[in-house]
Amino acid sequence: GVSGGIDSLVAAVLTHKAIGNQLYCIFINNGLLRKGEAEEVQKRFKENFKIDLIYVDASERFLKKLKGVSDPEVKRKIVGEEFIRVFEEKAKDIGKVEYLLQGTLYPDVIESISLEGPSSMIKSHHNVGGLPEEMKLKVLEPLKYLFKDEVRKVAKKLKFPEEVIWRQPFPGPGLSIRIIGPVEKERLDILREADEIIKQEIKKNGLYKKVWQSFGILLPIKTVGVMGVGEISNRIINEVKSINRVVYDISSKPPATIEWE
């Protein structure tokens, strides 16, 4: 399974070099992607990697399962399970598929494992703690002992395009865990527009490679409208309908986590 991010792409390209056309790359649009991401991933595969890509639009299926769900851990479990079920269905169509390749990294494993009981677990990663207990496919994780900077070094050796190497990490549950509360199509659309503005402004100011992650979180709560200051807040408030306040999270990590949920 590929997401278009550097982790799954490095895993896919290395595996393709080893087994050639025995590898089937499946990209699932779960309806929780960033603006233009589905089109971008398909274009990237066609132009840069010359590997056949099976595209599956399962957005309605995922949104239906997530309807009314607010708990972020439940969101992760739902997304993880649905990913696996879609992969199993496509594997059945292909015939005689035994393994599911994932771009899981070491930090994903660390975050998902509790050494002192459930309370000490940071959050489940959908590739690890978010997977269902019963699966028909065996999971392969060739990068599971690597960190992001090490994967980027491998990508450079493989001559990946710069935009792929420096693409900011994006969680498997996507925008569902960047919306506080239930996931709705309208909320997803609002967050996509705001998130795109943040990305544009970060890139315009030459900060994209210097910032580990920069993204929007949607807080669907009513507030008194206040005009923001600064380019990013002004653009979001003026260009994205339904948003009237922009805040900046300055919490340090640790103890905070990058993703809010």
Q: Which residues of 137-165 are buried (b: 16+ CB within 10 A; e: fewer)?
A: eeeebebbebeeeebbebbeeeebeeebb
Residues spanned by the domain of 208: 6-239
Residue 113's pLDDT is: 59
**CA–CA dist 149, 177 (Å, integer):** 24
Q: Which residues contact 218 (CB under 8 A, 6 or more apart)?
A: 178, 179, 180, 187, 190, 191, 194
Residue 259's pLDDT is: 83
Q: Is 72 exposed, middle or buried (0-12, 13-18, 19+ CB in 10 A)?
A: buried
Quick one: which of 86, 99, 87 has its CA closest to 140?
A: 99
Tell me phi and psi for residue 101, to 5 degrees: -90, 130
Give a yes or no: residue 135 inside a domain: yes
CATH number at residue 172: 3.40.50.620
Residue 226's pLDDT is: 53
Q: Which residues contact 137 (CB under 8 A, 6 or more apart)?
A: 84, 87, 88, 91, 97, 98, 99, 100
Number of domains in the chain: 1
Give a yes or no: residue 176 inside a domain: yes
Q: What tokens appear for 84 in the block?
A: 């696996």
**CA–CA dist 113, 123 (Å, integer):** 9
- The per-residue pLDDT for range 83-116, each reduced to its tens digit, is 999 999 999 999 989 999 999 999 887 866 544 4
Give a yes or no: residue 257 inside a domain: no
pTM of the entire structure? 0.82
Give a yes or no: residue 145 inside a domain: yes
**CA–CA dist 193, 233 (Å, integer):** 12
Give a yes or no: residue 89 inside a domain: yes
Q: Which residue has the higher pLDDT, 50 or 208?
A: 208
Give a yes or no: residue 182 inside a domain: yes
Residue 128's pLDDT is: 44
Q: Are 101 and 7 a contacting pair, CB within 8 Å?
A: no
Residue 188's Cβ-side half-sphere holds a number of Cα atoms within 13 Å equal to: 22
Quick one: which of 193, 196, 240, 190 has its CA closest to 219?
A: 190
Residue 112's pLDDT is: 60
- The per-residue pLDDT for range 162-218, each reduced to its tens digit, is 999 999 989 889 999 999 999 999 999 999 999 999 999 999 999 998 988 899 999
